[in-house]
Amino acid sequence: MRAVQFHDFGGPEVLQLVERDQPTPGTGQVRVRVAASAYNAADGGMRGGFLPIPVQLPHVPGYDVSGTVDALGDGVDGLSVGDAVIGFLPMERDGGAAEYVLAPADTLVSAPTTLPLADAAALPSVALTAWQALFDEGHLQAGQRVLIVGAGGVVGKYAIQLAARGGATVIATASPRSADAVRAAGAHQVIDHTTTDPLGALDGQVDVLLNLAPIDPAQFAADVAAVRDGGIVVSTTASMATPGDDARGVRAATVFVQPNRGRQTELVSLVDAGELTVEVTRRIPLAELPELHAEADAGGVTGKVIVLP
């Protein structure tokens, strides 16, 4: 089978398109015929050796995957050959940038039925990140107010949809380039962070501040003033400390996405109910994955890109 892998950590040039043996599922595993994998910024971090994840070399990237169950290992219940599935795979193991991938059975859930199977690869980890940041860490509730900083990215638009659906008032910062998309996702107020100080644009404090952008640490610390006493600051930017305010009881939490099969099943249900939109900006063939990594290293990838084997 074809796969993209790297034997050593480094720049995009370490990625190679290779032929590998088709894997055989062990106990508790299934083999998935890949419809698509999704590119995430963490793929570049793992390839470069920047993230504290014990990647096994050689490594195939692409921990978000969609596809069809192709073979079952021993001890697998609840899945059958031919099932359409999505999964957030263990990040340290081989991912879905290949024609086939092995997955622990407990990482897979039924794929949405209302969109192409390949596009469903764009859902797992990014939507889980938004859910875990807002509700598991932020404890966001109906009637509360949330300020989402850096809402124009993929996680941000999932966060807007989920927060608005949960009955929260959503204030979002975004650049002019993404303002329309952020508004369409359900934000009640959009602040242009390129021209406006978010603190000055707010009409009152918020219950939750969710940061999704690598902003200046001094600005991040100043933004805590937007949070009410007893509120919370949540960030997905693990490379910088998340500030709080102990004197006012403002808690700080940093989120790194964790697998959660139950939550993933709920997210799929929301997609099929028309309450959550899956964003796919580009679709590229497997052979172009090294070029995509180079593009990301050079200045970032806009939107969500899926990789077709």
Q: Is the pLDDT of residue 72 over 90?
A: yes
Q: Is the pLDDT of residue 145 over 90?
A: yes
Query: Averaged over 95-106, what is the pLDDT?
Result: 97
Cβ-in-10-Å burial (0-12, 13-18, 19+) of 93 comes to middle
Q: Are the C-beta atoms of 104 and 71 separated by less than 8 Å?
A: no
Residue showing tokens 């939550």:
263
Residue 91 DSSP class: T
Residue showing tokens 């900083």:
149
pLDDT of residue 232: 98
Q: Is the pLDDT of residue 183 over 90?
A: yes
Written as one string, the DSSP assignment of 124-185 is HHHHHHHHIIIIIIT---TT-EEEEETTTSHHHHHHHHHHHHTT-EEEEEE-HHHHHHHHHH
The sign of the CA dihedral 58, 64, 70, 76 is: positive
Q: Which residues pair with 267 in a beta bridge?
A: none
Global pTM reads 0.94
pLDDT of residue 278: 97
pLDDT of residue 199: 83
What pLDDT, in 10s, does the model give residues 218-268? 989 999 999 999 999 999 988 889 999 999 999 999 999 999 999 999 999
Query: Averaged over 46-74, what is the pLDDT?
Result: 95
Question: Among 71-85, 94-108, 177-191, which stretch is predicted with the lowest mean pLDDT?
Answer: 177-191
- Residue 172 CA from chain centroid, whole number: 18
Q: Is the pLDDT of residue 175 over 90?
A: no
Written as one string, the DSSP assignment of 92-124 is TS--SSBSEEEEEGGGEEEPPSSS-TGGGGGSH
Written as one string, the DSSP assignment of 201-264 is H-SS-EEEEEE-S---HHHHHHHGGGEEEEEEEEE--TTSPPP-BGGGTBEEEE------HHHH
Average pLDDT value over all residues in the chain: 95
Q: Is the pLDDT of residue 276 over 90?
A: yes
R_g of the chain computed on alpha carbons: 20
pLDDT of residue 253: 96
Q: Is the pLDDT of residue 215 over 90?
A: no
pLDDT of residue 301: 87
